[in-house]
Structure 1
Amino acid sequence: MGEIRSFEILSEAKFAEIYQAFWKKLYSVAYNHLRDKALAQEIVQDVFVKLWLNRDKVKQVENADAYLLTAIRNKIYDHFDSVACRKKHYQRALEDFSEERNAVDDIIIFNEGMSVILDELKKMPEKTEAVFRLSKFHKYSNDEIAEKTQLSSKAVEYHITQAMKKLRTRLAMFLS
């Protein structure tokens, strides 16, 4: 068996020769990076499968050694990228899970906050409460509220601003 420098025409016999000549070297490179025998074998096999599937495209390869070492290195990098991506998704899932565990606490805090808001609204002047409810609870625009309540747009803005000031103060005390 002579030294293989290029791929030329990749027949089954030539492929078998390349496989025999490079398998141990590629496995050694993969194992040294991965420290996992089964994974190193799988990655080497993937490189050879890709070589066989793309045999028509690799006819121009002049340095078989460099080509295969680059292919194995790229497969190793792809593996590390995949592992890093899985770790990131796993970490994000853990964070989402811990957030879900706190959903009950969030609901309790939300309900208590709404109770504070509703109590504070009852203390406000009737027009201010009505304008605020139309704006924030029913999602009416300022113009729609002005038309509905027979107030000017400036008066609607004033009532909303006054309600927001009082609520911010009360909620700041509640949250602290």
Structure 2
Amino acid sequence: MTTIVALKKGDRSVFSEVYFLYHEKIFFFVKRKTDSPYIAEEVTQLAFIKLWQSRENLSESHPLFSQLFRIVQSVLIDELRKQATYLSKTGKVIHLSVDEYSDVLEKLSEKEMRSRIMKIVEAMPSNRRKVFEMNRLQGMSYKQIAEQLSLSVKTVEYHLLEALKQLKRELGHHLPYVLLMLAINYF
């Protein structure tokens, strides 16, 4: 059975395979076009939702990626129109160049990401959170943290590794962006 036939029949495991096969390619394609991780993530998710909802209309005579790419282009155009309409209706920004538009969306995305990260950090177990904050937010070395918290350096390393694993689980492909924000002390 082909992938398209399986999708048309509602096979969720095949849909998951398609998602994992194309998610990253679509995300980086849209990010390259818009220079916005926020829009790239939105468009990617919406495109897969639309693929699932319209799976019965897929053509078996065209490659799946071509059909998915058409969906991505359609969703991207819709999302950009929606963002432009919102910005003009709120009166905050009426006329934007492509660069200005990307800057506004990027700032909104960064604010949302900071908020999301802080919620994840706040939900961490106490020692893990303290170690993470001392290292990533205050710039303290493992040795300094170990001395201040009366822990071994290995325990500090363990807590930091677990904190990063937790962030990776919850933020997925956004983690490199998050680590960059942390590295430049953006919080």
Q: TM-score, normalised by structure 1?
A: 0.44
Higher Cα Rg: structure 1 or 2?
Answer: 1
Per chain length, whose mean CA-contact separation is higher, i.e. which structure has more relative contact order (CA < 8 Å, sep 6+)? 1
Q: TM-score, normalised by structure 2?
A: 0.41
